[in-house]
Structure 1
């Protein structure tokens, strides 16, 4: 039985959240903004905080009973049935260095599981939207159309994307090395943009580690709604409990092959 369709009002609100964050990011892009270092040594700017503030205000006005889990201002009403997970600028390091390949991430969880995900690329003006009960869509200056993953004959023919090899530490490093060694091509960089490229059929695998919930929860509805597979490294659906290691593939057989390599002793 197919999943129930995500309510239209939630889809509409997700679009408004992304539009608000996009406006802030576009206004501040390539400005001389002060950059602070957070406790985890990741950078943050006034643009990150302004964007998340605008998004939180829209949620509070539309659904004051919903929870929010945001990168910049933490968690409120965590026990709500519906919780919005926000990363106002995913790829702040790119944003502060004038690189346009940063995005805004919006996820909506119901009972801890993602039912809606949105990737918005403010400077490219591109957007992927996935939600339960419907196909993923991709929107750019040409309009909106369905996004679909591509088939892959196996890892030997696969293009693998990851933000950085430095995210694979400890036992994750040899696991990633096995996967990288079996693939045809491995490319780094991209942050959230990688997941959109996979959903639109331009790559085969995205593998990452050391992610926070707001870094990955938007992606599962997008990838699965485009015909792909997204799990953690144990093959389980992603959720708030995911340990930060995720694996996406457009082709289910390719996903299974990659998962086996990640789990090999």
Structure 2
């Protein structure tokens, strides 16, 4: 598995350095209906740029060179199925909106799954110079230092981060963040699911909640949280798998309290309400 981890790190760093170089040049073309326009990819604020595709190609080339028999699932390309039990799950530029708006919270996220179970996860945030690495059964590190989730035991003292994921509108996210804000210390939105996940692993925040999220956004982050001692489930409290779903990641201690608080936005819950924000 160490060789696989090296591949993930090498690919993430190579793509990340390219993204950083172009970021500093501040010349970015955005894919959409017209050049330099915003393209709809779910939420209207979601965009994809030429840099997403360049980073995607860098990662695919390196992985395909070292592991040509493996499957590839990337946000920009989709699934390349070679019939292998190994699948690389890749978001070449997580936080595209941040990137094109020249905000620092963007990252490369690479996960290797074996029979749909993450075994290696790497997240590289090039501008803030942080590299999170997790291996199944071997813990999680950030810049080489072993990290663990927080020990915050009271929901009222906790900090949470979150994002609307793949929801078509901000309606559920607004209700969820409103409900959390009433019960926790503070709720924040960073604009990169990969970063929001690994900061839970590093103990900097206590929970991360997201809606209708794709596996490439959080696969590496989910492994980081679990290997740092945290808990990752869907909103029913069931173990997360490699499907698009609502996801909750916490330090484990406050997990049930967070889930209870957000059931009003869980369509599978009896507490679900599709009324207005204050309804």
Q: For residue 186 of structure 1, what is the aligned residue in structure 2?
A: 187
Q: For residue 3 of structure 1, what is the aligned residue in structure 2?
A: none
Q: For residue 146 of structure 1, what is the aligned residue in structure 2?
A: 146
Q: Distance in 2 between matches of 1:133 and 1:29?
A: 35
Pick the aligned partner of 1:77 from 61, 81, 88. 81
Q: For residue 30 of structure 2, what is the aligned residue in structure 1?
A: 35
Q: For residue 239 of structure 1, what is the aligned residue in structure 2?
A: 241
Does the aligned pair in 1 maintain the 2:121–2:135 contact within 8 Å?
A: yes
Tell me how far 1:212 sits from its aligned partner: 1.7
What are the ranges of 5 or more consecutive residues in structure 2 without an aligned counterpart?
33-38, 265-270, 272-279
Pair 39,78 (structure 1): closer, same or farther in 2 beyond 3 Å: farther
Q: What is the RMSD computed on CA atoms of the aligned residues?
A: 2.1
What are the ranges of 5 or more consecutive residues in structure 1 without an aligned counterpart?
1-6
Q: Distance in 2 between matches of 1:155 and 1:173?
A: 19
Q: For residue 114 of structure 1, what is the aligned residue in structure 2?
A: 118
Q: For residue 276 of structure 2, what is the aligned residue in structure 1?
A: none
Moved over 6 A (4+): none
Q: For residue 125 of structure 1, what is the aligned residue in structure 2?
A: 129
Q: Distance in 2 between matches of 1:17 and 1:86?
A: 10
Partner SS for 2:90: strand
Q: Distance in 1 between matches of 2:225 and 2:86?
A: 21
Q: Distance in 1 between matches of 2:54 and 2:79?
A: 17
Partner SS for 2:29: coil
Pair 165,90 (structure 1): closer, same or farther in 2 beyond 3 Å: closer
Partner SS for 1:206: strand
Tell me how far 1:48 sits from its aligned partner: 1.1
Aligned length: 253
Partner SS for 1:89: strand
Pair 84,165 (structure 1): closer, same or farther in 2 beyond 3 Å: closer
Pair 166,236 (structure 1): closer, same or farther in 2 beyond 3 Å: closer
Q: For residue 105 of structure 1, what is the aligned residue in structure 2?
A: 109
Tell me how far 1:261 sits from its aligned partner: 2.3
Q: Distance in 2 between matches of 1:219 and 1:164?
A: 16
Q: For residue 94 of structure 1, what is the aligned residue in structure 2?
A: 98
Does the aligned pair in 1 maintain the 2:166–2:213 contact within 8 Å?
A: no
Does the aligned pair in 1 maintain the 2:164–2:211 contact within 8 Å?
A: no
Tell me how far 1:164 sits from its aligned partner: 5.7
Q: Distance in 2 between matches of 1:171 and 1:86?
A: 26
Pair 77,165 (structure 1): closer, same or farther in 2 beyond 3 Å: closer
Partner SS for 1:241: coil
- Once the two structures are superposed, residues 70-120 of structure 1 have per-residue CA deviations (whole angstroms, 9 ceiling, x without a partner) of 111111016420100111110011111111110110011111122221111
Tell me how far 1:262 sits from its aligned partner: 2.3
Pair 117,136 (structure 1): closer, same or farther in 2 beyond 3 Å: same
- Tell me whether 1:12 sits opposite 2:22 in the alignment: no
TM-score (norm 2): 0.84
Q: Distance in 1 between matches of 2:242 and 2:223?
A: 14
